[in-house]
Amino acid sequence: MARVHNYFVYILECAEKSYYVGVTNDLEARLSQHNDGENVFAYTFARRPLLLRYYQRFDQIEDAIDFEKQVKGWSRKKKEALFEEDWSEIVRLSNYKNK
């Protein structure tokens, strides 16, 4: 029997309105780590409080990592279209050089 795995790509909105994109196999624990400030060197440490704006579950870690890398390269507008699951806007924004 194949084992089901859970991997998550998530986007946090930081207190100063920047976005942080990450990947984890335990979304709840990872959000606690970010919000508790467990790593003083983390991007999110000085940008708390944090708000979970989006997450997507994957069965395969490779798929999650590929999607994380893709989204990290997206503009703010594309990420915000993702929050709304506005796929036509994501496609439209993908057709511009200055995404």
99 domain-assigned: no
Q: What is the CATH number of the domain that holds 11?
A: 3.40.1440
| Secondary-structure breakdown of the chain: helix, strand, coil percentages, each rounded to the nearest 5 | 40, 20, 35
pLDDT of residue 24: 98
Give the contacts of 44 (CB within 8 A, at least 6 positions apart).
12, 14, 20, 34, 37, 50
How many domains does one find in the chain?
A: 1
Give the contacts of 41 (CB within 8 A, at least 6 positions apart).
none
51 domain-assigned: yes
pLDDT of residue 3: 72
Residues in the chain where the model's pLDDT stays below 70? 1-2, 97-99
Domain range for 35 is 7-94
